[in-house]
Amino acid sequence: MRIGLTGGIGSGKSTVAAALARRGALIVDTDLIARQLTAPQGAALPAIAEAFGSAMIGADGALDRARMRTEVFAQPAARQRLESILHPLIGQTALAQAGIANPGQPVVFDVPLLTESVHWRQRVDRVLLVDCDERLQLARVMRRSGWTEAEVLRVMAQQASRQARRAIADAVIVNEEGIDLAALDAQVGVLWSRWWVDTH
């Protein structure tokens, strides 16, 4: 079974993915793939340099992520240009990685933009949403990444709404204030039994 794991920035997808991995799922992380495609020698760099200029590539030969973040989250047209380069490569790489799953092993695609993407919704059998209040998303990302409030809000403004995500979810993991890591893990355990253990 192929699961699409989604949620807004900082909602807790990576934390839930780690809990699923501990139980035996193969995780395909699209943020990580995007990072690899834009690391030194990354396959996406020539097209990015052509579309955005070679100044977007840092002295270390990798994408200048902070500079690109400022550019794309301020201008939807620039974001779409970057996505049109990266998304086909991310999709291709993700499917190739899923191909190494053992027979019967659940595959979980961690895809922040799954709600926004018809392609992704067609690639998965079920959608698992990690959901939390927007204020908590903001606080978590500011704490984790050291971004300013304005930076996080700009990213959130470019993402699907909480309602839109809930509308496409088959199951929801609640990661609100007061849910500690043990309580989050317990929800993953219940879901794992329901979707994988009880059905085999």
Ligand X SMILES: CC(C)(COP(=O)(O)OP(=O)(O)OC[C@H]1O[C@@H](n2cnc3c(N)ncnc32)[C@H](O)[C@@H]1O)[C@@H](O)C(=O)NCCC(=O)NCCS
Residue ranges at the known binding site: 10-15
- The site for ligand X, by CB under 6 A, has a size of 20
Instruction: Mark residues 136-175: x for contact with ligand X by CB under 6 A, - for none.
Output: -------------------x--xx----------------
**If binding is defined by CB under 6 A, does position 79 make contact with ligand X?**
yes
Nearer to ligand X, 8 or 106 (CB): 8
**If binding is defined by CB under 6 A, does position 152 make contact with ligand ATP?**
no
Asked if residues 156 and 9 have their Cβ atoms less than 8 Å apart, the reply is yes
Instruction: Mark residues 109-138: x for contact with ligand X by CB under 6 A, - for none.
Output: --xxx-------------------------
Report in angstroms how near the CB of residue 189 gets to ligand X at its nearest. 25
Report in angstroms how near the CB of residue 200 gets to ligand X at its nearest. 30
Asked if residues 34 and 90 have their Cβ atoms less than 8 Å apart, the reply is yes
Per CB under 6 A, contacts with ligand ATP among 170-189 are 175, 179-181, 184
Beta-carbon count within 10 A of 115 CB: 25
The binder of 69, among ligand ATP, ligand X, none, by C-beta within 5 to 8 A per type, is ligand X
Residues of the shown chain interacting with ligand ATP in the complex, contacts defined by CB under 6 A: 7, 9-15, 31, 112, 140-141, 144, 175, 179-181, 184
